[in-house]
Structure 1
Amino acid sequence: MLPSDVTGVSIYNQVSTQFEFRPGPLMAQIVLADEINRATPKTQAALLEAMEESQITVDGITHILPRPFMVLATQNPIEYEGTFPLPEAQLDRFLVRLRLGYPEMNDEISILERQQFHHPVNDLPQVATADELLEAQAAIKSIYVAPAVKRYIVELTHQTRQHEDVYLGASPRGSLALFRTGQARAAIEGRDFVLPDDIKALVKPALSHRVILGPAARLRDLSGDQILDEIIS
């Protein structure tokens, strides 16, 4: 897969004698990159501008992506053949990372039953319009975050940068991720203010993929989650 397969490509139209832009799958509101670590580094790099600025540049022309825009990605943590590690710059652009693991036995039985005749994804109803989602995103930003909670967020990210086992700590994007996800969690809980417990609950999802361990820590088989557990304890 080439970067142009993701962003799109300009094709010469012999009738109009002009180049026409043929958009790629990235020109969508929700982009699912399944097993993203199978993409080559160049193809992965094609996502950077889109994820940061909600736009892509092809042949020197900037194309604004539709709003709302988000990238969801999966990766196989077990299989390494034919895969490429995601660069730190790209990891930093993902708001959170979640580890799904295996389903519980009853949940797996439910999966079998729901897929006996057809895939349930075909029956998924629309639950919100794009405008409603944009309104929800705007409303989340009005959730109050006290100065003490803001300082708590920044102190957590600063500690990742100063930890002896961490080669590269969380960037300011990590602080912003904690800030925004804290607001979202407060709204889900029915509050118009963020608590320190909101931030504490989101530290690992928002920061673990941004913490790059040093060689000594990797030799001791430490993980980013363990470092963050130590920081918030």
Structure 2
Amino acid sequence: MKMFWVLTLAGILVAGMGSRDGAVAQTRVPQKVMKYLESHSFQDLVRRYGNTTIELSVPSREARYLDSLPYRLEAGFRVQVVATTDKQNASNIYRQVKQLQLDSTYLVQEQGLFKVQVGNFTVRDSARKLLDQLYYAGFKDAWIAPATIHIAKKAKVLPTPSDSIYFAIQVMATHSRSKAEETAQTIRKKWNLPVRILAEGNLFKVLAGNFSEESMARQQLQYLREHGWPDAWLTQLLPN
């Protein structure tokens, strides 16, 4: 859909929504435009703009909805546990998979089939570890399937109330302080996330992010796992 202004040879300014060859719904003319029209003669307007059409793109309702989501949609891969016409069967399997507490489990309907899918992977091989997990959990018929996946947009790190927990991603735990510091620096530079090193005994834990919402933390966790830190996991912490 386009928002457009049309100045006809008759000197009528019309504003509306529609296509080039469709009907135009009239709406209010902006005050600045009215002042401009009033300050010029009819002959001058016709001479300048008699055959002019100016089109301004306006985001559609769907585009605005997609922009509001914490993720963007891309072609990729998921581990598909089942695809069936039986909605109840798919729902039961979905609940069973959810009990495994894996990241990003979905029940989707596509082309008359109800599908239980897990994960968001841009590369097929990245899904193999998850496929193995599901296999050993009893879902032996699962497979890797092309899918429209969710990729986290740049994470928003939100302030955390002093009396509540927050979510962080533990990227690694190592006995080497220098290795922990090197990893922390890499994540800060590459992903623009706040990172701190937590020393517990002889271990140095690298914690990324400071998320008040678990959903945002899990989106970022999935992204980090696919881009160099496959063993990262989500943890809950109390504020200092």
Tell me which protein shows more strand as a share of its residues. Answer: 2
**Same fold, TM-score > 0.5, yes or no:** no
TM-score, with length taken from structure 1: 0.28
Tell me which protein shows more helix as a share of its residues. Answer: 1
Structure of greater Rg: 2
TM-score, with length taken from structure 2: 0.27
